[in-house]
């Protein structure tokens, strides 16, 4: 161990900062967040740094450093470009047993600044001992994605109940078991969802019951996005990694499923045209039954749960059954796939509005409001319309949409084998008959499709004549 990790309490304690430039400004901001009283000495000080110290009762001394400035200081930081001055500050600080940090010079440091993940009161410091600050920052970035900011509120809640829990449970072992249940259960989830009042009430309830939970689990309706796992939200990933059971659809990619908790039960409830692995009513009941067993259940849906995902139907059943739930939006296929295909859904020169329409027609062609769909300066995106492509194109043309309106099929959007087929309303059905692009696929209709050849950046694209 090159350094012993420690956390300094600097609230209202005096710290000396030598230097007045950009690096000193960064260090001053950090010290100010920790509540330190900063004395700064430099020949020239950035206006922004002067303002920061003035707002936080700091002191600015324009002039030379001298050893007496170390009197009553608990830390000293040197952030100048003067190597000789740095050596003097290090010598003086060591002689007085004052911890010293000289920026970018580990040999002159008796302590180093870690890369910090701040979820106060939870703090994480990552240090390379000055050997590779960039690596430490990269590791911090990874942790930032895994630790929600809500952990700050969770830590504060635990702090408020610390004495109550200590009074309720006599032994350290009992307290540990209680806190493990709280911090991994519904109390924590309510805090992370921003429902702190509910979380506090539930914590009081569990404390009075001696640590037993309500016995009811929770359902998380999670949008898995279009397939690329890097398009998942942080919240989606967190809930997927703590779920006991995952019910997933056909459009959820294997790469996304691989990110679920390793020991979770994975249950396929996908739907294909004219074939449902589990009827919707069965899915609804399954969610209720699993939650009543005390399980944390993720209902994982391709795209976004509330865009042609029947998420509203499932939540209505959960609400009626009294099951707690959360909804995590996902990047819907229209947005993600068109972006990966190089087709902007709106553009000030081509389209000022966009419509999302299901192409899964029970009566094949009589359900669509074509009067709305044929409006100019509008992009239309058809979900699940590959098998009715000829009917959709024919219907648009019959109701007045020009036959030469650009149109495209985006097959397996965002996946490594994504393909884009570009034509017009008149030609696209024949092009698809020849190309046989597989589902899942989106159909995009509108002038914005003309931009695809210029903006394409991902996957394979085909156009008429190819």
Residue 332 marked in a binding site: yes
Cα gap 383→380, rounded to integer Å: 10
User: Which residues touch 107 (CB under 8 Å, ≥6 apart)?
Assistant: none
Catalytic, 271? Answer yes
In 355-415, where does DSSP find H-type helix? 370-373, 389-398
413 among annotated binding-site residues: yes
* Closest by Cα among 358, 353, 332 to 448: 353
Separation between Cα atoms, residue 129 and residue 115, nearest integer Å: 11
Consult the annotation and say whether 302 binds a ligand. yes
CB 413 within 8 A of CB 352: no
Which residue out of 27, 249, 301, 401 is catalytically annotated?
249
Question: How far apart, in whole angstroms, are the C-alpha atoms of residue 38 and residue 52?
Answer: 10
- Beta strands per DSSP E along 45-157: 59-62, 75-78, 100-102, 115-119, 122-126
Q: How far apart are CA 8 and CA 3, in angstroms?
A: 14
Distance CA(137)–CA(116), nearest Å, equals: 8
* Cβ-proximal residues to 52 (8 Å cutoff; 6+ apart), any chain: 25, 28, 29, 32, 58
**Is 223 known as a binding-site position?**
no
Note if 349 is an active site residue: no
* Alpha carbons 356 and 175: distance in angstroms, whole number: 52
Handedness of CA 373, 379, 382, 387 (dihedral sign): positive
Helix, strand counts (H, E) of the chain = 17, 20
Residue 339 is assigned to a ligand binding site: no
Element (H, E) at 444: strand 441-445
42 annotated ligand binder: no
- 333 among annotated binding-site residues: yes
Alpha carbon separation from 318 to 219, 240, 248, 269, 306 (Å, rounded): 8, 19, 17, 17, 15
Contact partners, residue 109, CB within 8 Å, separation at least 6: 90, 100, 101, 102, 130
Structure tokens at 412: 């397996």
The answer to whether 379 is a known ligand-binding residue is no
| Residue 358 counted as an annotated binding residue | no
Alpha-helical (H) ranges within 293-421 are 311-321, 333-341, 370-373, 389-398
Is residue 446 within 8 A of residue 405, CB to CB? The reply is yes
Q: 22 a known binding residue?
A: yes
Annotated binding residue at 304? yes
Single out the catalytic residue among 118, 235, 244, 271.
271
Per the annotation, binding residues are 22-23, 43-44, 226, 302-304, 307, 332-333, 384, 413
- Active-site amino acid positions: 249, 271
Per the annotation, binding residues for NAD(+) are 22-23, 43-44
Per the annotation, binding residues for S-adenosyl-L-methionine are 226, 302-304, 307, 332-333, 384, 413
């Amino acid at each position: 161990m090159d350094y012993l990790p420690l956390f300094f309490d600097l609230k209202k304690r005096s710290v000396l900062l030598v230097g007045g430039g950009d690096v000193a400004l960064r260090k001053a901001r950090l010290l100010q967040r920790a509540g330190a009283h900063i004395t700064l000495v430099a020949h020239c000080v950035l206006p922004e740094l002067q303002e920061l110290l003035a707002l936080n009762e700091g002191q600015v001394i324009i002039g030379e450093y001298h050893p007496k400035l170390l009197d009553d200081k608990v830390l000293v930081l040197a952030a100048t470009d003067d190597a000789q001055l740095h050596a003097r500050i290090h010598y003086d600080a060591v002689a007085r047993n004052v911890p010293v940090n000289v920026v970018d010079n580990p040999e002159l440091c008796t302590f180093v600044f870690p890369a910090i993940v701040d979820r106060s009161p939870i703090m994480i410091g990552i240090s390379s001992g000055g050997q590779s600050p960039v690596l430490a920052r990269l590791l911090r970035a990874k942790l930032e994605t895994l630790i929600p900011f809500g952990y700050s509120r969770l830590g504060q809640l635990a702090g408020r109940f610390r004495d109550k829990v200590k009074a309720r449970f006599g032994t350290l072992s009992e307290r540990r078991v209680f806190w493990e249940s709280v911090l991994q259960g519904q109390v924590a989830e309510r805090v992370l969802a921003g429902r702190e009042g509910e979380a506090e009430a539930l914590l009081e309830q569990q404390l009075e019951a001696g640590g037993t939970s309500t016995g009811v689990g929770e359902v998380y309706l999670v949008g898995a996005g279009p397939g690329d796992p890097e398009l998942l939200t942080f919240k989606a990933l967190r809930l997927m990694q703590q779920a006991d059971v995952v019910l997933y659809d056909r459009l959820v990619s294997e790469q996304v499923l691989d990110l679920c908790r390793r020991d979770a039960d994975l249950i396929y409830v996908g739907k294909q045209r004219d074939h449902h692995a589990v009827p919707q009513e069965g899915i609804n009941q399954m969610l209720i039954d699993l939650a009543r067993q005390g399980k944390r259940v993720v209902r994982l849906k391709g795209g976004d749960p509330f865009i042609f995902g029947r998420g509203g139907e499932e939540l209505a059943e959960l609400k009626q059954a009294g099951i707690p739930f959360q909804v995590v939006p996902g990047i819907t296929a229209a947005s993600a796939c068109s972006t990966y295909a190089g087709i902007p859904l709106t553009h000030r020169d081509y389209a000022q509005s966009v419509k999302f329409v299901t192409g899964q027609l029970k009566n094949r062609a009589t359900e669509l409001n074509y009067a709305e769909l044929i409006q100019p300066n509008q992009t239309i995106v058809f979900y699940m319309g590959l098998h009715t492509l000829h009917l959709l194109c024919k219907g648009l043309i019959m109701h007045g949409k020009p036959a030469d309106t650009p149109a495209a099929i985006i097959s397996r959007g965002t996946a490594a084998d994504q393909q884009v087929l570009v034509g017009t309303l008149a030609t696209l059905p024949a092009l698809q008959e020849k190309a046989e692009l597989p589902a899942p696929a989106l159909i995009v209709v509108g002038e914005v499709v003309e931009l695809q050849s210029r903006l394409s950046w991902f996957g394979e694209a085909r156009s008429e004549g190819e």
